[in-house]
Amino acid sequence: MASIISHAAAGAALSIAFAPDSARGRFWPVAIAAAVLPDIDSLLFYYRYYPALGHRGFFHSPFLGLIISLLLMFLFFRDEPLFSGRWFGYFLVLFLAWTSHGFLDALTNGGRGVAFLSPFSSKRYFLPWTPIQVSPMSIKSFFTPWGWSVLQNELVWIWLPGLALVFLSRMVRPWTEN
């Protein structure tokens, strides 16, 4: 998996790049949480491992991402007119943040792969190219040379592309406004 820090950074970059203009202040933490939440399944490592619910299983699927994004909309943005352009913009960014988690994990060089089609299939996938170094699962292991190596790798493969996305979106946005 990519580190929790970099999943949060990816969620932040997506929310800055694609959120509707004048997004409410509570939108940013919700979008970042959506990018990090799929790793709640890592808590199952401390209990019995269930393949369908195990790490990178159902909690990493876009199907659950749709459900969670709708739930987050109803919990935090119920005052937005249902299915308005702004509502849909928020929903889309939350869904992108959620799905970014699985795609970043599928770009890593370790683990069991991501169950993108769960609950319809338990098959796990990696993307054909896996440049991201797999992150330690424990906090203690993160403060080792391996953890430092992971952060350096993620700086190149997650943080810099995220900053580029934000920069490009800010350059293009003035031309797309009415």
| pLDDT on residue 69 | 98
Count of domains for the chain: 1
- Report the Cα–Cα distance between both ends of the chain, in Å, rounded: 40
In a domain, 19, yes or no: yes
Residue among 166, 144, 114 at smallest CA distance from 2:
114
Establish whether the linkage from the previous residue to 81 is cis, with ω within 30° of 0: no
In a domain, 123, yes or no: yes
In a domain, 176, yes or no: no
pTM for the full model?
A: 0.90
Distance CA 77, CA 104 (A): 27
CA dihedral angle for residue 158, residue 53, residue 114, residue 92, rounded to 10 degrees: -60
| pLDDT on residue 162 | 97
In a domain, 100, yes or no: yes
Distance CA 111, CA 46 (A): 16
In a domain, 92, yes or no: yes
* Exposed/middle/buried for residue 60 (C-beta within 10 Å: 0-12, 13-18, 19+): buried
In a domain, 88, yes or no: yes
Low-confidence residues of the chain: pLDDT under 70: 44-53, 176-178
| pLDDT on residue 52 | 66
Structural domain harbouring 143: 4-170
In a domain, 178, yes or no: no
Which residues, in sequence order, are CB contacts of 24 under 8 Å at separation 6+?
Answer: 77
| pLDDT on residue 2 | 87
| pLDDT on residue 59 | 92
CA dihedral angle for residue 152, residue 158, residue 159, residue 164, rounded to 10 degrees: 140
